[in-house]
């Protein structure tokens, strides 16, 4: 199975909700749920992988201020190789909504300094055939400029590459669509949510978006995460749809990142695409419906406080 490498953003998440958008400016509201936790797309995936018993290498940076020290402590030994930044530690405020959706307000802080040099330094022990997940792309703007160089470096070392780019603050402009498709063409797996898929393709619906991406990326497995509707995937003309179980949602922040963890762990174990999708949906559904979060594979359960 080897080591799973996760590259990208780790930050502090403050989760509040559920709240119906939006309160009147200048007023105050009270919400029933709150959480303060280590997060970021890469951070969420790493926590899930750690709970599932995977061997992980986290390639990240972090501030050296007190919040940054707390963040390092949350990840324990996984943070030993993180690069250090004198910038304030990044913070994201996530507001959950009654319909299960969420809105994020982020301050980039140390993430603005995460660079290609940091990424390559953290990947120096990469072994051919190991999986690398690139996530939080638009939260690391300096590295974003060098993503093609990073991807070619990974290809030359025969890594298996998965990418979950996330959502750019300015939306998917024509230039960003072209850039993203160039990245995707170098990856084994692309993991996006339904809004990202539709925006990337300008398609009228999720199914059309999936087919469009699959046609544009014939050698890539395309995964579209559809929240309560499960996940759709297409790989070399084979298509799968896995429904999500009905659960009582506490908060959905990090659901897609948790899916990524269980999905890639199953992939690294040589399981079929359908089995990998089922593992991802199962694990994400358990995480969003438990507090403290429970990360579940079919053969084990682990609570992360």
CATH number at residue 294: 3.40.1190.20
Phi, psi of 302 (to 5 degrees): -140, 130
Q: CA 91 to CA 98: how far, in whole Å?
A: 23
**Which stretches of the chain score pLDDT less than 50?**
305
Looking at residue 37, what is its pLDDT?
Answer: 94
Q: Which of 254, 149, 159, 163 is nearest to 200 (CA)?
A: 163
> Which domain range does residue 184 map to?
4-10+39-89+111-303
Residue 237 DSSP one-character state? T
CB 214 within 8 A of CB 236: no
Looking at residue 299, what is its pLDDT?
Answer: 55
pLDDT, tens digit, 9 for 90 and up, residues 240-284: 999 999 999 888 888 999 999 999 999 999 999 999 999 999 999
CA torsion sign, 184 to 238 to 101 to 135? negative
Structural domain tally of the chain?
Answer: 1
* Angular region, 270: left φ>0, alpha ψ -120 to 50, beta rest: left
Q: Which of 46, 40, 16 is nearest to 28 (CA)?
A: 16
74 is a domain residue: yes
E strands, 111-210, where? 131-135, 160-164, 189-193
Looking at residue 218, what is its pLDDT?
Answer: 97
Q: CA 272 to CA 117: how far, in whole Å?
A: 35
Cα–Cα distances (Å) from 115 to 57, 58, 71, 179, 286, in that order, read: 17, 14, 20, 18, 34
Residue 37 DSSP one-character state? E
Query: Alpha-carbon Rg of the chain, whole angstroms?
Result: 18
33 is a domain residue: no
- At a CB cut-off of 8 Å and minimum separation 6, what does 60 contact? 7, 8, 9, 10, 40, 42, 43, 79, 82, 83, 114, 122
Cα–chain center distance at 234: 19
CB 44 within 8 A of CB 258: yes
Q: CA 278 to CA 242: how far, in whole Å?
A: 6
251 is a domain residue: yes
Q: CA 266 to CA 156: how far, in whole Å?
A: 24
Angle, vertex CA 33, rays to CA 28 and CA 38, nearest 5: 105
224 is a domain residue: yes
43 is a domain residue: yes
Looking at residue 304, what is its pLDDT?
Answer: 54
Looking at residue 215, what is its pLDDT?
Answer: 97
26 is a domain residue: no
Looking at residue 305, what is its pLDDT?
Answer: 39
Q: CA 209 to CA 224: how far, in whole Å?
A: 9
SS3 content of the chain, % helix, strand, coil (to 5): 40, 25, 35
Phi, psi of 230 (to 5 degrees): 85, -140
103 is a domain residue: no
163 is a domain residue: yes
């Amino acid at each position: 199975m080897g080591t799973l490498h996760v590259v990208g953003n780790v930050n502090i998440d403050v989760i509040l909700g559920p709240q119906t958008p939006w309160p009147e400016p200048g007023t105050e509201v009270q919400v029933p749920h709150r959480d303060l936790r280590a997060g970021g797309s890469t951070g969420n995936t790493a926590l899930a992988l750690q709970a599932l018993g995977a061997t992980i290498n986290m390639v990240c940076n972090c501030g050296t201020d007190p919040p940054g020290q707390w963040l390092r402590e949350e990840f324990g030994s996984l943070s030993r190789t993180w690069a250090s930044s004198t910038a304030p530690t990044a913070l994201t405020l996530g507001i959950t909504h009654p319909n299960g959706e969420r809105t994020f307000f982020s301050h980039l802080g140390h993430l603005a300094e995460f660079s290609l040099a940091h990424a390559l330094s953290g990947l120096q022990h990469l072994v051919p055939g190991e999986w690398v997940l690139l996530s939080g792309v638009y939260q690391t703007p300096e590295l974003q400029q060098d993503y093609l160089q990073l991807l070619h470096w990974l290809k030359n070392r025969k890594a298996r590459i998965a990418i979950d780019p996330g959502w750019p603050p300015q939306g998917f402009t024509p230039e960003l669509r072209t850039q993203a498709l160039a990245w995707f063409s170098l990856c084994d797996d692309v993991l996006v949510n339904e809004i990202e898929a539709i925006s990337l393709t300008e398609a009228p619906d999720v199914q059309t978006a999936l087919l469009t991406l699959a046609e544009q990326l014939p050698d890539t497995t395309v995964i579209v995460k559809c929240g309560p509707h499960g996940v759709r995937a297409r790989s070399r003309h084979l298509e799968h749809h896995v429904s999500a179980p009905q659960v009582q949602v506490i908060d959905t922040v990090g659901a897609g990142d948790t899916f990524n963890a269980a999905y890639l762990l199953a992939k690294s174990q040589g399981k079929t695409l359908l089995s990998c999708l089922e593992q991802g949906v199962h694990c994400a559904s358990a995480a969003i419906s438990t507090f403290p979060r429970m990360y579940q594979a079919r053969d084990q359960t682990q609570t992360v406080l």
